[in-house]
A and B are shown apart, each in its own frame.
Chain A
Amino acid sequence: MSVSYDEYMEILSFLYKEAMLLDDKKYKEWLSLLTEDFEYKIFLVDFVPYTNEGPKLITILDEDRKAMERRINRLYTEYAWAEDPQSHTLRVISNVMIESKVDNVYNVRSYLVLHRDRGDLKDEVFYAKRNDKIVKVNEGYKLSKRDVIIMESILRERNVSLIL
């Protein structure tokens, strides 16, 4: 596999732009970055004895594109209480590594630190590892798969109403 500096920069900008759209609450624009067969999973890590296979993952979400659209549409109803009044969020994307490239498909790892403010004194920061599948298409790049591992065995945030 060889990935050029330009390609790396393009992937990086794609991830930054995507994070920015979510922080700016431009959810419909964000949706347009997903492929039709988009898959999205979120895991917690169980606290178990060490094995060579890595941590045992507990699934807390497993969505397809249709479910994702429902999730986004919900935010525009008058009843999405978890995000209304709106959270203030700030996403830091880091440790971006292109792990492999086959044809026009990139497997990209990144870290996410996401701060959320909900108008109270509860500090909420999500620390997560992400494995993305990003596809190069004519108009640029699209996200076709995202696995998010929240690095907590007991989730300490009040909910996961945000997209990670």
Chain B
Amino acid sequence: MPNNKIEDILKSFNPEKGEVPFSLFIDNEIYELELATVFKKSWLFLGFENMIKYPGDYFTTTMGEVPVIVTRDQNNQVRVFLNFCIHKGMKLCRATQGNSQFFRCPYHGWTYSNDGKLVGVPYYEPAYVNNLDIEKQGLIAVPNVKLYKGTIWASLAEKPKPFDDFLGDMKLYLDLIFDMFEGNMEVYGGIHRWLLPVNWKIPLENFAGDAYHAPFTHASAVSIGLRGAYGNNVRILYPGEGHGIVSVPGGLARKAVDIDALTPFRDRLSKAVETLSQKYGEFVKNMFPFGPLNVFPNFSMHFTWNYIIFRVWHPRGPTLTELQGGILVFSDMPEETKRQILRRALHEFGPAGVLEQDDAEVWSKISENGVSIRKGSIDPKLIYTRGLGMDVEAEKVLGKGAKGRIGEYYSDVSLRGFYSTLKKYLTGEE
């Protein structure tokens, strides 16, 4: 009775009270429901426009588990297609990135131009002449694509909610980052891909709001002088719509282990604080740069004095996630600064980073343990009650112009928001 099982799980899923059943991170029924709702209906982050700068540039990725090709066609239009040959279903494009005006299927050679049109069918005559209307055939386009300040988003839904409504007040905070680049946003050093043995929602919690783990999971960073002491005053911002931001007052990493070559980057940030606070309000000075964040459902960034990294948590199974990660730099910065930013980011984050390697150990053991616990039909409710009922209007704490609710001292406020939003999708309200 899988449906009853889902019902039972959803009954014990009360995020507004801080109750999240453990099965949400382990069970296949929930996982498949997430793919069919969250990943089917929500807007999803696909990449940065800088990754497909020139006509013909493309990269492949997934929306949930659905494989897609993201390309800039010869008329400079960004297009998103299912990575699927309409003839007999072959994966059309197997590379992660490249440049090509045409996509040729290796199976029977059907060829598509990068605006999606079917332009070549081998041995068309005479057998297809009356049986295949080539003009009407083409790649299956993802119905909704949105370009937003250098980023590319799409939704598999026929009629998703308007992009601005989906972002809600998160837009303000993303604008701070994207406006800062003034069109000079560059993905530097490539995208690394990493298969994590854990449910997609667990790692993103660390970006969306679980800063509470840092002083303990990453205690070694203090011992080796990479960080000053972790403060007790970390704030968690909930802008609504399932998004989340960790705001680290003063920017924890600023004082620790300085690297001279990063100065041009830090100068940009300092300058941006001034201009952006004039444009958006005084609050910018109290939170810039603001630390980790997550855009619902699975796009995370970490914005610090040393680097800006991004992560997309692609679901690959109830306890499997493919992380695609990279760093963002200002394209007009000196090459040496870019490399130093990359070095510093990878020293801390990524599979070999001294911070994230410990996260990965925790994540893998949650899954291993979780699968065993669930085999005993045990479904403990996990505890998300930190700071319950204590959050206030962000403007009161951060100052004029801030939006959303804020909780202090490592509150779970944004995680309760993430799971409330997730629940809406799972129950069909979204």
Docked pose: A61 CA to B348 CA in angstroms: 9
B128 close to chain A: CB less than 8 A: no
B192 close to chain A: CB less than 8 A: yes
B219 close to chain A: CB less than 8 A: yes
A49-B98, A74-B354 known; A44+B343 contact, CB < 8 A = no
CB-nearest residue of chain B relative to A50? B95
Inter-chain contacts of B351 with A (CB < 8 A)? 60, 155, 157, 159-160
| A58 and B220 form a contact (CB under 8 A) | no
Inter-chain contacts of A74 with B (CB < 8 A)? 220, 223-224, 354
Binds B, one of A5-13, A79-87, A91-99: A79-87
Near B by CB (< 8 A), chain A positions 18-36 give none
A81-B362, A82-B361, A159-B357 known; A154+B193 contact, CB < 8 A = yes
Consensus secondary structure, chain B interface: mixed
How many of chain B's residues have a CB under 8 angstroms from any CB in A? 44
Question: A33-66 vs B: 1/0 string, CB under 8 Å?
Answer: 0000000001010111100000011111111100
Question: A152-163 vs B: 1/0 string, CB under 8 Å?
Answer: 011111111100
| B194 and A59 form a contact (CB under 8 A) | no
Inter-chain contacts of A82 with B (CB < 8 A)? 357-358, 360-361
Docked pose: A49 CA to B57 CA in angstroms: 13
Tell me the minimal C-beta distance from B260 to chain A in angstroms.
13
Inter-chain contacts of A159 with B (CB < 8 A)? 351-352, 356-357, 360-361
| A49 and B95 form a contact (CB under 8 A) | yes
Partner of A59, one of B190, B217, B358, B360: B190
CB-nearest residue of chain A relative to B216? A79
Inter-chain contacts of A79 with B (CB < 8 A)? 216-220, 223, 358
Inter-chain contacts of A47 with B (CB < 8 A)? 94-96
Inter-chain contacts of B353 with A (CB < 8 A)? 61
Tell me the minimal C-beta distance from B32 to chain A in angstroms.
22
| A158 and B346 form a contact (CB under 8 A) | no
Question: A109-149 vs B: 1/0 string, CB under 8 Å?
Answer: 00000000010111000000000000000000000000000
Inter-chain contacts of A73 with B (CB < 8 A)? 223-224
| A153 and B96 form a contact (CB under 8 A) | yes
With A42-B352, A77-B223, A158-B360 already in contact, 7 other A-B pairs whose C-beta atoms are closer than 8 Å: A58-B189, A60-B351, A62-B339, A64-B343, A77-B220, A122-B197, A161-B361
Measured CB to CB, the residues of B under 8 A from A are: 94-98, 189-197, 216-220, 223-226, 322, 339, 342-343, 346-347, 350-354, 356-358, 360-365, 368
